[in-house]
Amino acid sequence: MSGGSSLLLDPHVHSEASYDGHEPVELILEHAADIGLDAVAITDHDVIHASLEAVDRAPEYGVVAVPGVEVSTRHGHLLALGVEELPPVGAPFDETVATVRGMGGIAVVPHPFQRTRHGVARRRIADCDAVEVYNAWLFTGYRNRRARAFAARNDYPGVAGSDAHRLMSVGRAHTELRLDEPEPDADDVVAAIRDGATAVHGRRAPLHRSAGHYARGAARKTAYAARQAPATVVGALLG
């Protein structure tokens, strides 16, 4: 990519609002900013309230939060980015793609072809806006290589996401976007993915320029828990 400015985005992060997530929104935003990410999308399973909370709170941390959700379609999971409402759960894949676009968002296929993780089968992907070609959760590179080849063959933009369910995984795969706007917002991020202005950075290690911050992640979680403890004790006493 050349010209304009670059933005680092993790488009696939789960908060404690997901049935298998663990982290509060504010801690994800704080950590994302600290490790050098410019933007993040909270994409919980079939709920969107935490993602909308992230949008409201992101300016406090100097990052862009893209609203979104990982919605369960009849044929597998789909990342709906740039939407502020939950698309119908359990609808056919192609109908969900159309619904997401009708909401002004983009439909991104996460961890494709992985049946054990509810990935959409190849034969079902007739149309989408982007494909997750690097998912940091994978144990080998085979599935990511298949996804990358599929995206290239069908001319779909590729993105990379951490699929983080815990704080320390946020940003371990991320997407670099090239934008013309000096201060991009969520709509600009969505448009850049739709236009294919993406570069994929997938690693099984932290972002190289801020690896030291990951070592402080556990301490940050401990500090967060300590901040919450007094309120919990007071609530218990008053209850």
The C-alpha angle with vertex 64 and arms to 225 and 71, in degrees rounded to 5, equals 80
How much is the CA Rg of the chain, to the nearest whole Å?
17
Write the DSSP symbol of residue 9.
Answer: E
Q: Which pTM does this prediction carry?
A: 0.85
Per-residue confidence (pLDDT) for residue 117, from 0 to 100: 85
Residue given tokens 């996401």 in the structure block: 161
SS3 category, 191: helix
* Rounded distance between C-alpha atoms, residue 7 and residue 83, angstroms: 20
Q: Domain residue spans in the chain?
A: 5-238
Per-residue pLDDT of the chain (239 residues; tens, 9 = 90+): 445 789 999 999 999 999 999 999 999 999 999 999 999 999 999 999 999 999 999 999 999 999 999 999 999 999 999 999 999 999 999 999 999 999 999 999 999 998 888 999 999 999 999 999 999 987 668 889 999 999 999 999 999 999 999 999 999 999 999 998 889 999 999 999 999 999 999 765 444 433 444 454 555 556 656 666 655 544 544 44
DSSP run (H or E) holding 32: helix 25-34
Q: Are 175 and 159 in contact (CB under 8 A)?
A: yes
What local confidence, expressed as pLDDT, does residue 38 receive? 98
Please report the sign of the dihedral spanned by the C-alpha atoms of residue 179, residue 69, residue 50, residue 143: negative
3-state SS assignment for residue 10: strand
Contact in structure between 28 and 13 (CB atoms under 8 Å): yes
Beta bridge partners of 200: 175
By DSSP bridging, strand 39-42 and strand 64-66 are parallel
Q: Whole-angstrom Cα distance, residue 181 to residue 155?
A: 25
Q: Which pLDDT belongs to residue 202?
A: 74
What is the architecture of the domain spanning 5-238?
Alpha-Beta Barrel (3.20)
Q: Determine the 3-state secondary structure of 214 from DSSP.
A: helix
Instruction: Enter the tokens of residue 29.
Output: 């935003």
